[in-house]
Amino acid sequence: MQTFHPHHVTFLQHPRLPINLFPRAAIPAVHSCRRRRLSSLSASTINHIDNLPAAAAAADFDDYQLLFSSQPAESVEPLQLLAVEGVLPADFPCGTYYLVGPDMISDSRGSTVNPLDGHGYLRSFHFGGSGKVMYMARYVETEAVREEREEATGKWRFRRAGIFSKLKAQRVTKDPSLLKNVANTTVLSWGGRLFCLWEGGHPYEIEPSTLATVGPADLIGAVVKIYTNNTCMLYIFLLSAGILGMPPMRTLSHYKIDAKRNMLLVLSCDVEDMFLPNSAFTFYEFDGNFNLKQKKRFLILDKLLIHDWAFTDTYYVLTGNRTKLNAPGILPFVSGLAPLMSTVSLNPSRPTTPIYLLPRLGDERNPARDWRIPVEAPSQFWTSHVGNAFEEKHGSGNTEIKIQASVCSYQWFSFKKLFGYDWESEKLDPSFMNVGKEELPHLVQISIMLNANGVCCWSSVVNSSSSWNEPTDFPIINPSNSGQRNKFLYASTTSGIRRLLPYFPFDSVIKLDCFDGVVKSWWSGSRRFVGEPMFVSKRTGDDDEDGYIIVVEVKQYAVFKKRCYLVVLDAKRVGHDDAVVAKMEVPEHLTFPFGFHGFWVDR
């Protein structure tokens, strides 16, 4: 296993990639690469990479397709994973790592959907002590799964479109609601209950030990909306809830846990906001027994699309992604000719980014600061994921709010081509994820200085590290420090070694020192890729590197062959040759595509 230290050594720069990679016969020959600061790989490895044949480009293309292939098999009974490298240390905590993601994106009739619309596949890795890891995997039995998977044969036939996909007319069900809840985005364990969440509807509750689906769960409570004096609003609501098949208020897939107060924070949006020029956000806080302790609703006169968010001791923090209604796209959507997201367009009309600081604690009627008016960060960006946010008090009485996030440019982000999927061709084009390095997701730190009255004095946006400028996403921290000052941030990133796909899929994990910007890295290896990292704390103190990083690694080799591993890294040793503590192999017949987001539960 090799490691690299990107802030120290010069390596290779990759040329801008061609836009169209289809068909495979059109894959261009590999050209020479330029030098860049990357890693401490040996000279022999550098020479090997520099002389890779054009066939390697074709392998890159095949690798990308396999990463988003479907896995129909399930593991209802626990299977023990075999360690192919190292052993789990005696102090590794007992608990379970849950990971959900889309593992059914192609059906038996050749229809392919965006990975974001693939059916949720829940995996569990149970660490029970004595170095044993037991594995299970099951599909979340949503209504859509029961409709689209034939019970007798196990074959899949897509009948409903997803938010980012469309289906041919003959594949669409007669049900008037066009969308389906796929429960594929995040996992939540709270109050002894387990849930799989999705952006457009209710979470699905799961039985933790068997992964059997219990059914949809309304975490935020039933909502009755009354529009007695507004016929237009009533029509919009009925259109949204009826045709979209969404509940009146949709629970966002990203939640937050305030470890300091042992509170679960959940965010919901009004379903009709999809067609309105404003955004309504409701925050809920639950104690450890799932008792609702606080509920706050905010109406913002700006059309925002929020995927991830943050909190501090005092504020709920929304980094606003500005959007607008694409009215010409409504009719094609209703007619089944285009997906729902064709009705939404990015709104890059302003050169800044709105940061809304919504009062979590204290009086929201503070006359000195109107929460309805955002802090305008001095650059335009689209927020992908937030790692953490916290407050720092200064001797002058000022408060500085720091937000650590992964952001990309409006020029690159496209609802139509996320993960390279094009809803017109129903194909995955990896070039979209590998063109324009500066525009792809990368880590930034946003700072906002408030005076004693809560009024903004200044704001800034800077790269999190001057020594690391590779595309990076899925930032995480030791969850014990969520909402509090953290020293280290971990994330998935790229080594840049691959010729055709230098930036995505990710193949490395970085550890960023937020104090001095130093980055240390672990590289998974050639034709190996990693998903979102997860921090498992030893809980022996407040040290936010005192624990382990677990990450799923997918290895591609030969022709359309792959293996999946669960890799355990020592968080303190990332950047060193002995970072890998153990690696467990998933049985060949159960290898799976990438997941999205996971959750660690201590036993």
- Tell me the binding residues for Fe cation: 307, 385, 597
Q: Which residues contact 381 (CB under 8 A, 6 or more apart)?
A: 353, 407, 408, 409, 410, 444, 461
CA gap 3, 395 in Å, rounded: 42
Q: Residue 328 in 3-state DSSP?
A: helix
CA gap 202, 120 in Å, rounded: 14
Neighbouring-strand partners of residue 276: none
Annotated binding site: 307, 385, 597
Q: How are beta strands 323-325 and 344-346 bridged, if at all?
A: antiparallel
CA dihedral 17, 23, 25, 30 (to 10 degrees): 10
Which tokens go with 165? 């996909």
- Count the neighbouring beta carbons within 10 Å of the beta carbon of residue 317: 25
| Closest-CA residue to 511 (of 521, 501, 526) | 521
Neighbouring-strand partners of residue 510: 491, 521
Q: How are beta strands 82-86 and 353-359 bridged, if at all?
A: unpaired
Surface-to-core class of residue 572, CB atoms within 10 Å of its CB (0-12 exposed, 13-18 middle, 19+ buried):
middle
CA gap 206, 336 in Å, rounded: 32
Which tokens go with 439? 């525009």
